[in-house]
Structure 1
Amino acid sequence: MYFSTAKCAETDKNRTWVRTLSETYFPLSAEFNNDSEFEGRLSSWSLGNLGLSEMTCDGVLYHRKRSHFANEKDSSLLITIPHKGDVHFRQSSRDTKCGPGGFLVERGDMPYEFWHGKRNKLWVLKVPTASVRSRLGATDRLGALTFDATQGVGSFFVGAVRNTIQCVDKINDVARDVAGQQLLDLLCLAMRSDDRILDSSSSTIRAAHLQRAEQFIRDNLANPNLNSQLVAESCGISLRYLQRLFSEADHSIVGYIRDKRLTRCDEALKLVNDTSTVANIAYKWGFYDQAQFCKYYRSRFGCTPTETRKKSRLDAGTGG
């Protein structure tokens, strides 16, 4: 999709800009530095479960208010990569800025303010919070964090975003789905390499052991041999101690593994161009009994795997 305020009548171009961004990302409101002369253009693409956009616009302040997400069931993160100057962001108790050479994480399930005073060019990824959580764990601490993109995996991630934007109009829908999954994995790798992603409670040895066990599980969900004993051995702790750690966190090891696998299955089922059968998706993520998988899936998401796939394809206009 491509949108430019140059196509709009002078009287409604700002209102149309806000409506377009709300449809591309999620509902928000805006204040423009210069109402009468504001100009902006936006190109956006669907990459499976992710959204990618390139935006160039004059100075503006965006508000995400509680009323904007009061009825939303699924939350998202926005990953913003600025090019021409700093962007400023305020969420909860954090007030930060991010310039070229970095990227910013914005939580969509909390109020925020986002602004830049001058004309700027931004790349923005819209990512399901659940997809990040299934790879990194809790996302509560991510809001308003900025990350270095000048070196290491962060630089690789931004380079991949650049390459995707340059090539996205030349590849088919299947390739776009694959590109989206690769960007998601690179994003999570880039964030995981930052020490601030460690849970603040990890100052205790027990919390650190639990976090290491949870991350091992998230990294090995596709391993058919993943079980409690393997987790304990890989983390260098006893099985009884591991079970106690999870019990203190109000969940079982088996339940935690199943929950994370269900999230990855749900993610795959929503890829409208994926030709894998429901059974193949379930098997890939460790569910070998189709009836049990469907039972767990319905309990977790309130519908069957087939219903999720059908709805995603209908929403995308690709039919059943």
Structure 2
Amino acid sequence: QLSAQHVLDILKAGFYITEDEIDTFLKKRLSSINAKLITIQPEVNITEKELKDYYEKNKEKFSQKKGKKIKIFKIATDEKDSKLKAQKLFSDLKSGNIPSNVKPIFDDVFLKGKKYNLPEKVLEKIKNLSNNTKIEFIKTKDAYYLIYYEGEKAIPMPYKKAKTQVKNSVLEEKRGKILKKIKESISREKSLNLKLLKEKYNAKIEEIKNEKYVQLQFKYGLSPTELDELVKIKNGFSKPYILKDKVVIFYITKVIPPSSEEYEKSKKQLKPLLEDQKFNDIISMLINKLKMRQTLRLTIECCSNEQNPLLS
């Protein structure tokens, strides 16, 4: 039988990386471009009504504290049939039926660290409440206490305190929608030119001189896919990209390849690393496929071993 290492050695022996793959990778790292950077950064206006409406709809996003939402019922021991009433209430709560004829003395979010005018025994039992323990029954000298746990609940910050966070959230959401519309509108233009972008979209145009692709990626936050698209353009407009708070287009006027000396030196250094990376990626893909097949085989075996109820 072949060991796993033998299989890997056999695969490695027949493995190679193409010149095109090396060339594409090195172009991204070493080539530079001259281009015009076109940026469209729309102004986003927000009204007080928009802020308040967003806050009301999304209060849970602006919580300052979390606590236990509970109801506490109290039945005085000197009340007629107090024990029977307490037992009946306990039974109702246990069934999930909250009686409307018994008013709780506490119906709010219980916050840890806050002082409450409740017996020490009751405060201790509140600590035990969870999804697994929804009810606690306590008897003191003066009363029966029944505590009903409704779940964890966040207490939102007051609007004034949360206003800055609300504004940032509304700004991000509204700007995202505006940028998406601008991007879609530019993508529908039949013929792009600098004059159109400047006049119709109020675009700003800057010069990019002799900047490497990899520098552009880090400087403007281009994704690997967007960078790959940019590398393929020899001359002309790129797609519009939404980068942070603006729409960006590159108008490439010149691609400056690396010198032969720089290219060959980098190729010699990077080729073994690229081969290892590609090999590891392929092995990971094969392992994932084998795992999927194994899972499928076990599922089929399991199903075939089960008796079909329709045939019994």
Question: Which of the pair has more CA radius of gyration?
Answer: 2
TM-score, scaled relative to structure 1? 0.19
Q: TM-score, normalised by structure 2?
A: 0.19
Higher relative CO (CA 8 A, sep ≥ 6), structure 1 or 2?
Answer: 2
